[in-house]
A = this chain, B = another copy of it.
Amino acid sequence: MSFDLNAVRRYFPILEWGSRYNRDTFTNDGVAALIVTIMLIPQSLAYALLAGLPAEMGLYASILPLVAYAIFGTSRALAVGPVAVVSLMTAASVGNMALQGTAEYALAAITLAFLSGLILLAMGLFRLGFLANFLSHPVIAGFITASGILIATSQLKHILGVSASGHTLFETIQSILGNLGQLNVITLIIGVSATAFLFWVRKGLKPFLIGIGLKPRMADISAKAGPVVAVVVTTLASFAFGLSEHGVKIVGEVPRGLPPLTLPVFSGEIWAQLFGSAVLISIIGFVESVSVAQTLAAKRRQRIVPDQELIGLGASNIAAAISGGYPVTGGFARSVVNFDAGAETPAAGAFTAIGIALAALFLTPLLYFLPIATLAATIIVAVLSLVDFSILRGTWAYSKADFAAVLATILLTLGLGVETGVSAGVILSIGLHLYKTSRPHIAEVGLVPGTEHFRNIKRHDVLTAPHVVTIRVDESLYFANARFLEDYIYDRVADCDEIKHIILMCPAVNEIDHSALESLEAINLRLKDMGILLHLSEVKGPVMDRLQKSHFLQALTGQVFLSQFAAIKALELPDVAVS
């Protein structure tokens, strides 16, 4: 067997960009990595908290997974690591199996990352990336919005300094209200002021910096460091005033050092329990990741390879599992920052990993006094930008079916949790699509006088003859609508004894599956019993090729006409009457 270099190149995109790596690229990647590192330190701690995991697992999930993606990924700008929605899904999934804070809980999160990695790798190797297409845009939009609300609500307890739990909006709010007696005023002050500060950083800092003379690009980048300022200030305050003795919850001891070597649980029972969640996390992570990667690649006229992205993300998650992390994916906001900061190759991710590794080695003792309320504020501000109800207005105007899918996804995600919400959204959009195509638009058409064109007899003044009925079906014929067509034709001919010819006009029929073929055979046979001939017109090439492999064309009582005009000339003219 010869050594297939192209296959190696396909699976290791690093060989391609690595060979052209130079000092300029290095500088650009390095600057981007520095900015992303500063942004990622508080985020990784916060998202670990959201997932119900110890803070250091957020750091660990931001080291080896980034290196793995740099080797296998195809996007030049994607910033992989812990993200809000996947962290929430991890909490929902693992929370069903173990209590937060226990070793079993952390181990289940590691196993979830491993399973998710295997699923992504398998999808990549077997080129199953198309599965992600079954998450329609409205379902994703609804899901992300609802997740943002759920996440923000779940963090309210940290702002208030009360304990609470729950996987649905109602449970969480009820739990917070029930424990409102525990309210800690100092925590509330820290939480509210950090949130307000971060909102101002997001909206007002950049114009302010430009106002005092910074260049727009520099102002933009500086504004990204806002969360670090919040972290530093509140940590110092917490340390100086001994706030933890006044009931303010702090991060506490974060182990210092590089990620430990970890292994997932190899238990059929646990894998079976986590499998459904792992599939959802994989697909949602992939969709989020590939959307941002594609958007950024297009801006520089680059390409990403979705199936290889699956392999890159799969490798990242397996790397997370063996180094004490939890499920990761490409984050939207961080990738945009990475791109804007000038990242040119996936090496920027590897440099970010080095930054986070240094933080894990040297900065963790400094995080001891960091108030948890500050991290909650970081999360709230980050996720509220995900909440966007405009999809409801957009789909309402455009398509009621899509609106129903969005609304159901939002309500079910809020009311029953992330996994039920997104699953119901997917099932509903598939169901609605099948429902729509199961009742295709069918028009009876006639000849527009003086032309060779045919139009709907209900909308236009067209010529028809009483003994010829032409039916145009505006949909592929397949099992879901085969019976509908049968019913339509039987109803049409049952009403009228004059009919001698039925022409099925097929310019929009892109496929006829075996069910529809059998329906056509049945229609042909029953019309024959009634003394009516069945004809086809304007059948597409590939559809005709397929029909020729069956016995239908031999059994067909009528003819197949290349054009509808030829059909009418043969069957109807010269005795044309105006309908």
Decide: B507 and A303 in contact? CB cutoff 8 A: no
Which residues of B sit under 8 angstroms from A262, Cβ to Cβ? Answer: none
Decide: B479 and A134 in contact? CB cutoff 8 A: yes
Instruction: Please report the C-alpha to C-alpha distance between residue A347 and residue B190 in the assembled complex, in whole angstroms.
Output: 81
Would you call A96 an interface residue if the criterion is a C-beta within 8 Å of the partner chain's C-beta atoms?
no
Of B394, B479, B517, which is within 8 A of A133 by CB?
Answer: B479
Which residues of B sit under 8 angstroms from A217, Cβ to Cβ? Answer: none
Decide: A514 and B133 in contact? CB cutoff 8 A: no
Chain B min CB distance to A565 (Å): 14
Instruction: Please report the C-alpha to C-alpha distance between residue A519 and residue B291 in the assembled complex, in whole angstroms.
Output: 11
A515-528: CB near B (< 8 Å → 1, else 0) gives 10111001000100
Decide: A133 and B549 in contact? CB cutoff 8 A: no
Decide: B550 and A397 in contact? CB cutoff 8 A: yes
Can you spell out 29 A-B residue pairs with CB atoms less than 8 angstroms apart? Answer: A130-B435, A130-B438, A130-B480, A132-B483, A133-B479, A133-B482, A135-B479, A136-B478, A136-B479, A136-B513, A136-B515, A137-B479, A138-B515, A139-B479, A299-B529, A301-B493, A301-B494, A398-B517, A398-B549, A398-B550, A399-B546, A402-B514, A402-B515, A430-B430, A433-B479, A433-B480, A474-B540, A475-B476, A475-B510
Would you call A575 an interface residue if the criterion is a C-beta within 8 Å of the partner chain's C-beta atoms?
no
Chain B min CB distance to A233 (Å): 39
Decide: A513 and B133 in contact? CB cutoff 8 A: no
Would you call A530 an interface residue if the criterion is a C-beta within 8 Å of the partner chain's C-beta atoms?
yes
Decide: B306 and A522 in contact? CB cutoff 8 A: no
Bin the interface of chain A by size: 35 or more
Chain B min CB distance to A109 (Å): 30
Residues of A within 8 A of B (CB): 130, 132-139, 294-295, 297-299, 301-303, 306, 394-395, 397-399, 401-402, 429-430, 433-441, 474-476, 478-484, 486-487, 490-491, 493-494, 507-508, 510-511, 513-515, 517-519, 522, 526, 529-530, 540, 542, 546, 549-550
Nearest 4 pairs between A and B by C-beta? A136-B479, A402-B514, A137-B515, A298-B526
Decide: A474 and B295 in contact? CB cutoff 8 A: no
Of B134, B306, B435, which is within 8 A of A434 by CB?
Answer: B134
4 additional contacts (CB under 8 A) given A394-B550, A402-B513: A294-B486, A295-B526, A430-B434, A441-B542
Which residues of B sit under 8 angstroms from A476, Cβ to Cβ? Answer: 437, 475-476
Q: Across the two chains, which residue of chain B brings its CB closest to A543?
A: B474
Q: Across the two chains, which residue of chain B brings its CB closest to A495?
A: B303
Instruction: Please report the C-alpha to C-alpha distance between residue A441 and residue B476 in the assembled complex, in whole angstroms.
Output: 13
Decide: B508 and A507 in contact? CB cutoff 8 A: yes
Chain B min CB distance to A487 (Å): 7
Which residues of B sit under 8 angstroms from A514, Cβ to Cβ? Answer: 136-138, 394-395, 398-399, 402
Chain B min CB distance to A426 (Å): 10
Chain B min CB distance to A402 (Å): 4
Of B297, B480, B487, which is within 8 A of A134 by CB?
Answer: B480
Instruction: Please report the C-alpha to C-alpha distance between residue A302 and residue B530 in the assembled complex, in whole angstroms.
Output: 11
Chain B min CB distance to A512 (Å): 9
Which residues of B sit under 8 angstroms from A398, Cβ to Cβ? Answer: 514, 517, 546, 549-550
Which residues of B sit under 8 angstroms from A440, Cβ to Cβ? Answer: 510
Instruction: Please report the C-alpha to C-alpha distance between residue A508 and residue B132 in the assembled complex, in whole angstroms.
Output: 24
Instruction: Please report the C-alpha to C-alpha distance between residue A119 and residue B491 in the assembled complex, in whole angstroms.
Output: 26
Instruction: Please report the C-alpha to C-alpha distance between residue A511 and residue B438 in the assembled complex, in whole angstroms.
Output: 13
Also in contact, A474 and B510, with CB within 8 A (given A303-B494, A482-B137, A529-B299): yes
Decide: B549 and A484 in contact? CB cutoff 8 A: no
Also in contact, A518 and B479, with CB within 8 A (given A401-B513, A436-B511): no
Which residues of B sit under 8 angstroms from A549, Cβ to Cβ? Answer: 397-398
Chain B min CB distance to A384 (Å): 22
Instruction: Please report the C-alpha to C-alpha distance between residue A549 and residue B440 in the assembled complex, in whole angstroms.
Output: 21
Chain B min CB distance to A494 (Å): 5
Decide: B479 and A303 in contact? CB cutoff 8 A: no
Decide: B401 and A301 in contact? CB cutoff 8 A: no
Decide: A522 and B295 in contact? CB cutoff 8 A: yes
Which residues of B sit under 8 angstroms from A437, Cβ to Cβ? Answer: 476
Which residues of B sit under 8 angstroms from A478, Cβ to Cβ? Answer: 136, 433
Chain B min CB distance to A435 (Å): 7
Which residues of B sit under 8 angstroms from A511, Cβ to Cβ? Answer: 436
Which residues of B sit under 8 angstroms from A481, Cβ to Cβ? Answer: 133
Instruction: Please report the C-alpha to C-alpha distance between residue A397 and residue B549 in the assembled complex, in whole angstroms.
Output: 6
Decide: B515 and A483 in contact? CB cutoff 8 A: no
Chain B min CB distance to A552 (Å): 9
Chain B min CB distance to A554 (Å): 14
